Amino acid sequence: MKTTIKKILNAALLLGAIMITGTTLAQRGGQGGGQQGPPPLPTSDEIEEMVSDMAEEVSLDETQEAEILVLYKAHFEEVEDLTSSGRPDRDKMEALKSDFEDEVNAVLTDEQQKLFKAYQKKNSRQKGKR
């Protein structure tokens, strides 16, 4: 009889632990606890803010800032086109990013290109800490 009670208590404890774990994971958004899928695309206002921040960090003049704003908006439109129909091909996305960076670098001086690279590195680290 004692063995049966122990088995029932162990089963109840195990069930309780499973329920608590399941609830915790559900509250965290899944097993990873993080965001599922790619981050949302920035709005037009957010893109303008990004470029404005970059303009300060990289010392862009007004003409460069305007050109780069056009490049950023076009880039995110292309990203939206690729991602709207499901998960895009990784190679296509990497090529798109590489082409975009080349276009931005074409607007920058050599010194600004170095600052832009540092700016990108700084921002990618900050995103990883979120």
Distance separating alpha carbons of residues 104 and 121, to the nearest angstrom = 15
Percentage with pLDDT > 70 across the chain? 67
**Each residue's pLDDT tens digit, 98-121:** 999 999 999 999 999 999 999 989
Q: Which amino acid is at 113?
A: Q
Radius of gyration of the chain (CA): 24
Instruction: Report the candidate in 107, 99, 124, 101 with the shortest Cα–Cα distance to residue 65.
Output: 107
Instruction: Give the CB-side neighbour count of residue 80, counting CA atoms within 13 A.
Output: 11
With 0.85 as the threshold, say if the pTM is over it.
Answer: no
* Mean pLDDT of the residues in the chain: 81
**Each residue's pLDDT tens digit, 47-61:** 999 999 999 999 999
